[in-house]
Structure 1
Amino acid sequence: MIYVAFSMICLIFGTTFLAIKWGIDAGLTPFFGGGLRFFLAGLILFCFMVWRGKASLSLLLRKEMLLTGLGLTFGTFGSLYWAEQYIASGIAAALTATGPLMILILQTCILHQKSKVSSFVGCTIGFAGVVILLLPALTTNQGGFLWIVACATVLMGEVFYAGGTLYLKQVMPRFQNVSPVALNAVQMMYGGAGILTVSLCTEDIHLNVLLQPHAIYSLIYLIVIGSMVAHTLYYWLVVKTTPLFPSTWLYISPIIAIGLGMVIYNEPISWNMLVGVLIIITGLVLVNASALRQLFTRTRSIAS
């Protein structure tokens, strides 16, 4: 069951990048679509947890949830949704895989935590992969100015992700008796509300776009499958295995996203994209090398 759930997470997260692109191209403005997705997904999950007696309304008043939502949802996905107007879903997926590298940088530069040499080597290799991924377009200006800004925006969103992750790790001891699913639901509500606020201030929203089949299908898929199902499975795996094991979806989902973008959306694939993605994944493996060795030993014993 553990490996079935993990496979579902990899597949679902790998498809969400294309689903986002699909919704934007169907007429959903990025901030409105992203904000609506996360606010509704969080609201439905939170109401369900309250109904089951596993969450309290007082959780909505905790500032920790607001700050976590600003990092993990508002900054991370607000950036991603905006950027996918201008870049292919496969490139967006590859750039989001730099999240663990950003965590290492923040841990070292801000929290002054010592890391192994292999982690720094992995971080260097990972960012070399980003350079290889983007360099041809940067040197020839194939994508244009907005393409460059969009790529940089996704990377900046991963800085938000890293900050939100480290902050959540710090405050989690305060919520030992609270379901992780409820915590995730509340932070999605706050993050989604923040993205919707940006939408109201910056976008010309036409609600009739929700009547367009592709737009509503994209939104429903991202709310139900991409947010509610995938995140519930993610936290179930955190409880059943280790916090690291579910996060290894980052090694697999970018490849799925690139393949789907090529097959379904006719997104071009170049040699530098494939090489860049493989180098980024190699860097991620090196960053977590020691933890991964312990992980696979423990996961094998749990699964058996």
Structure 2
Amino acid sequence: LMVKVLAQEAMRLNIPLCDHTTAIRILTSGEGENRRVEGVIAIDKACRDNPWRMVVIRCQHLVLATGGPGELYRDSVYPVNCFSALGMALEAGITLVNLTESQFGIGTPRSQFPWNLSGTYMQAMPRIYSQDHSGRQYNFLATYYPTTRMLASAIFRKGYQWPFHAERMLEYGSSLLDVAVYEETQKGRDVFLDFLREPEPAADGTLFNLRELDDDVIDYLQQNHALLAQPLARLTQMNPLAIRLYQMHGHDLTASPLKFTLNNQHLNGGIEVDIWARTS
């Protein structure tokens, strides 16, 4: 959607679009503080003027807006073939920053419909379980959370504490769920959200009870008129479009569980810029 809107704006401004063209190198001149961009070398698949399909695009200002390095990880919510321009920037001597800082969180697999499972998907508090290749199911979160109240409240908070955060592993917080999901996938098991059933008991064996949750969870559900039996009913009340979104991409949350995993979602670093978005 973002790409579509930006493309429409570019066409409205009569900015020429070079379709089927991929920039591969930034051209510069000068040294040190006097160094500046002169253009890019690109591969134009439609070019018939030379056998190498190479073109030079001259410019004095260059905007790198290619997205992050989505191919770094197998499990990712980046679109397929999202390679970024960080390598090209490095070759040109542009300073990068915070490349070690990446963001991870739960979402549906890239091979299906890559989407972050944040917001109401988790605030509906679906049942979470894993399954091995023989079809055996595991209530694996019971080995991580001592009480069902803690477990259900952590699932709820994952909706607005979506990215993994090390401090939120403490005191049985929401990011402990990320660790649990990751460890299950490392065992070769698939992990699912089931909106047709309530969360299973934690280590204390207590059954899930809407009235036995942390105060902030109950208050939120009350304010949204979502103190309803069954996760699907809660999700339908809070955000029916969340169900429709997956239906549009081939999965019906009202009929079957949703497979998910721990995905790379965002690179918090990248090209270093000043307050005017200018590079080195």
TM-score in terms of structure 1 length? 0.23
Higher relative contact order (CA 8 A, sep 6+): 1
Larger radius of gyration: 2
